[in-house]
Amino acid sequence: MAKRFSRNPFRIYWWVFVLAAFVLLRIAQEYRQPDDNQPLAEGTYRVARVIDGDTLLLESGQRLRLQGIDAPETVKPDHPVEPWGPEASAFARQFVEQAGGEVRLVFGIERIDAYGRQLAFVWHGDQMLNAELVRAGLARARLDYRYSGTMKRALATAQDEARDARRGIWSGEIVAGATSE
C-alpha cells in the first residue's frame, strides 16, 4: 500500500489542500460581514450621526453620501480640515436635528459610490439637504455625475445663488481653524 502513494506523492497534498480550502471558506462564511452595499429602498431612515458635511451614518450602519455635491473635508485621514468644512458639518447636523433624526432618501441613477457608500438626495419636508448646503455656500455642486437633470438644475441654481451672494466658499474669506493646501 505504501508503494501506491509513493508513485503519486502530489495526490495526498492535493486532497489536503482541497480540504483546507473548504474549511477556510466555511469559516469565512460564518464571519462574513453583512453586505452593506445592497441599495436601499427610497423612504424614511434614521440618521445615527453626521460624519461631515456630505456624509451621514444611518442607524442601519450604512454610510450615506449626499449625491451631487462636494463639501469641504473635515475627517479625511491624512488631510487637513478645509475652510468651511466645520460649518458644513454643523449645517448638516442642524438639518438632521430639525428633521428629528429622520430623513427621506431619494436616489438617482448611480446608487453606490466607489467607496461603498449609498448615494442619495436627503429630504426633510420640502427641503433637500444637498441643495441647502450648496445654497448656503458650504458645498459645491457636482454636475458631472450621473443623476437626473431636475436635480442638476436645482443644485446649479442653488450654487448660482450662493456665488452671486458670495456666501461661504464663494465669499473669499478663510475661516479660522481651517487650513487650505
**The Cα angle at residue 148 between residues 145 and 153, in degrees rounded to 5:** 90
Looking at the chain, the whole-number percentage of residues with pLDDT higher than 90 is: 66
**The Cα angle at residue 149 between residues 117 and 72, in degrees rounded to 5:** 45
pLDDT greater at residue 97 or residue 10: 97
Q: Give 100-157 pLDDT, tens digit per residue.
A: 999 999 999 999 999 899 999 999 999 999 999 999 999 999 999 999 999 999 999 9
Q: Phi-psi category of 9—alpha, beta or left, where left has phi over 0 and alpha has psi -120 to 50?
A: alpha
**CATH label, 43-170, candidates 3.40.50.300, 2.40.50.90, 3.40.50.720, 3.40.50.970:** 2.40.50.90
Active site residues: 65, 73, 117
pTM above 0.95, yes or no: no
